[in-house]
């Protein structure tokens, strides 16, 4: 199943509602599960991004729908990256160089 790295920045609304952050993460995890995916891990980070989430989803379209649904709540701005495992990257490289 494809993996995605979601880089998130809290909006002003998200900062004001920090006391409910844990509940929002649980709700996002439920949303991801209902769409056939899995929230692998969530990190609060220092620097440009406030939160980094690692998510598995069945495909790019499902991942985009999940991120749109989460972003539409107004608590975070997201930037999502498709992540390839070492083995997936090796296969891509081998195909590209043949």
| Whether 59 contacts 2, CB under 8 Å | yes
**What stretches in the chain show pLDDT beneath 70?**
none
pLDDT in tens, 75-89: 999 999 999 999 999
Task: Quote the mean pLDDT of the chain.
Answer: 96
How would DSSP label each residue in 32-66?
A: HHHTT-EEEEEEE-SSS-SEEEEEE-SSHHHHHHH
What are the structural domains of the chain? 3-96 (3.30.70.920)
Given this model, what pLDDT does residue 98 score? 87
pLDDT of the residue at 91: 95
- How far are the Cα atoms of 18, 46, 73, 75 from residue 3, in angstroms, in the given order? 27, 22, 23, 23
**Could you give the dihedral angle defined by the CA atoms of residues 9, 12, 17 and 19, in that order, rounded to the nearest 10 degrees?**
60
């Amino acid at each position: 199943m494809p993996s995605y790295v979601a880089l998130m920045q809290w909006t002003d609304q998200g900062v004001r509602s920090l006391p409910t952050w844990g509940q929002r993460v649980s709700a996002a995890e439920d949303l991801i599960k209902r769409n056939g995916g899995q929230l692998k891990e969530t990190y609060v980070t220092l620097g440009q991004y406030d939160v980094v989430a690692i998510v598995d989803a069945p495909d790019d379209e499902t991942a985009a729908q999940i991120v749109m649904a989460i972003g539409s709540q107004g608590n975070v701005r997201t930037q999502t990256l498709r992540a390839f495992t070492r083995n997936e990257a090796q296969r891509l490289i081998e195909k590209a160089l043949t």
